[in-house]
Amino acid sequence: MRVIRSYQNVAAKDRGASVAIGNFDGVHLGHQSVINIARGAGEATDAPLGVLTFEPHPRAFFAPDAPAFRLMSPEARQNRLAKLGVKMLYELPFNAELAALTPESFARDVIGKGLGLAHVVIGEDFRFGKARAGTAEDLTRFGAEMGFGVTVAKLVAAQDAQVSSTAIRTALSEGRPRDAAAMLGHWHRFEGAVQHGAKRGRELGFPTANMHLTNLHLPKFGVYAVEVDVLSGPHKGSYTGAASLGTRPMFGENTPNLETYIFDFKGDLYGETLSVALVEYLRPEETFESLEAFIAQMHADCDLARSILSKL
């Protein structure tokens, strides 16, 4: 997958794509539906499949001090889109200049002249241009005038509810990762490099891979059954485990962290990239009267996680 980060001076090989447009936070079933429509439109004209998105997320640009809301990092989004067969990712910087474009200017200067897109697919609730003034109907009209095709996709529903990043965040905040997965079409994952920690887990017989969590929406704190993909290094592969998401109240700390104990694993993962999927919420964070009680609970957590994961 090629990543293009400007709509100016775009190479000829990166023009003419059939593109899905949106923020694609989470790359949920609704996003996947839009991408599949773009795929079909491109196959009809032999146009490569692309995605047009923005970084940072426009919401973060307009409200930089608001609480973190993103479901995935830009890198995780790229990885997920590549798995869906996207060949070109137009990840445009969302800045004051882009935000100031009128809907007509965005259609003409970005989609038409800038990127030279052959076809675009948007959701029926799509808004674009300064003050989000442009609608799906406006883009359809601009496309007819400017020479690119437009398809407006219906919103997707799952479990009798509309699929949205907001609904997914709610499910995760309530400790319902399976409900979130039903809307995502995949497990909710955290991806990142393994960091050095206090190494308490190793001393307690449960060595963990520690990942810092920044600028992301945090699910309900507690212990989860997880699936783990090691994406780099000599131990690349898929594993299972149990993970603690939270602030480690047993040790008086307050910085959110993800600590993952990988079952039946021996090896050094420091600096390697992990993708940890939340499968089931087991229990909330707790403090214990003694280390012995804490260790006994960790054994119970791992036994329960193994049982759950064995049935997937």
The catalytic site residues sit at 259
Distances (CA, A) of 180 to 140, 159, 304, 306: 32, 11, 21, 21
The sign of the CA dihedral 45, 51, 278, 262 is positive
Buried b (16+ CB within 10 A) or exposed e, 260-279: bbbeebeeebeebbbbbbbb
241 CB neighbour count, 10 Å cutoff? 23
Q: Of all helices (H) and strands (E), which one includes residue 257?
A: strand 257-262
User: What residues contact residue 188 under an 8 Å CB cut-off, 6+ apart?
Assistant: 26, 71, 168, 172, 177, 180, 181, 219, 277, 278
| Calpha distance 288→243 (Å, rounded) | 18
CA 103 to chain CA centroid, nearest Å:
27
| Calpha distance 143→191 (Å, rounded) | 37
112: amino acid identity, one letter? G
Contact 297, 304 (CB under 8 A): no
Q: If you count DSSP H runs as helices and E runs as strands, how many of each does the chain have, helices first?
A: 10, 14
| Calpha distance 19→45 (Å, rounded) | 13
Compute the radius of gyration of the chain from its Cα atoms: 22
| Calpha distance 142→189 (Å, rounded) | 38
